[in-house]
Amino acid sequence: MSIRDDLDKYLKKDPGYYKTEPLLSPDSAFTSQVAGDHYKTLAIQPVEYIHRNGIGYMEGNVIKYVTRWRAKGHGLEDLKKARHYLDLLIEMEEGKK
C-alpha cells in the first residue's frame, strides 16, 4: 500500500484501516484528548503526522503550534511558540556549519 493510499483510507475512515493500523484502533488514545478538542476535529492529528513521518522534536513543535493556533484560543502566543522553535532549529543548524 502506498503512503497516499494509506492516507486516503485514513481520511475516509475506512473501517478496514483500523484493522491494519494499530495507532488508529477504535480504543486508541487518538480517539480521546485531554484538555480540549482542538486536535480531535482535524483530519489527521499533528502527533500522528509527526510520528508517521519521523519528524524531530523542534520541527514537530512548529507543526503542533501552527496547527492549533486558531482552535485552542491562544492565537498569537502559539504562533510565537512556533517561531521560537523554528528560531532554535535555525540556530542549531547554523551552528553545524
The C-alpha cell 517561531 sits at 83
Number of H helices, E strands in the chain: 5, 0
Polymer length in residues for the chain: 97
CA distances from 79 to 6, 41, 50, 66, 75 (A): 30, 20, 18, 6, 7
- Torsional sign, CA 68, 51, 11, 24: negative
Model confidence pLDDT, tens digit, residues 29-87: 655 555 556 666 777 888 888 998 999 999 999 999 999 888 877 789 999 999 999 99
The C-alpha cell 489527521 sits at 44
pLDDT of 22 over the 50 cut: no
On whether the CB atoms of residues 45 and 67 are closer than 8 A, the answer is no
Amino acid, single-letter form, for residue 31: T
Domain ranges of the chain: 1-32, 36-97
CA distance 47 to 40: 11
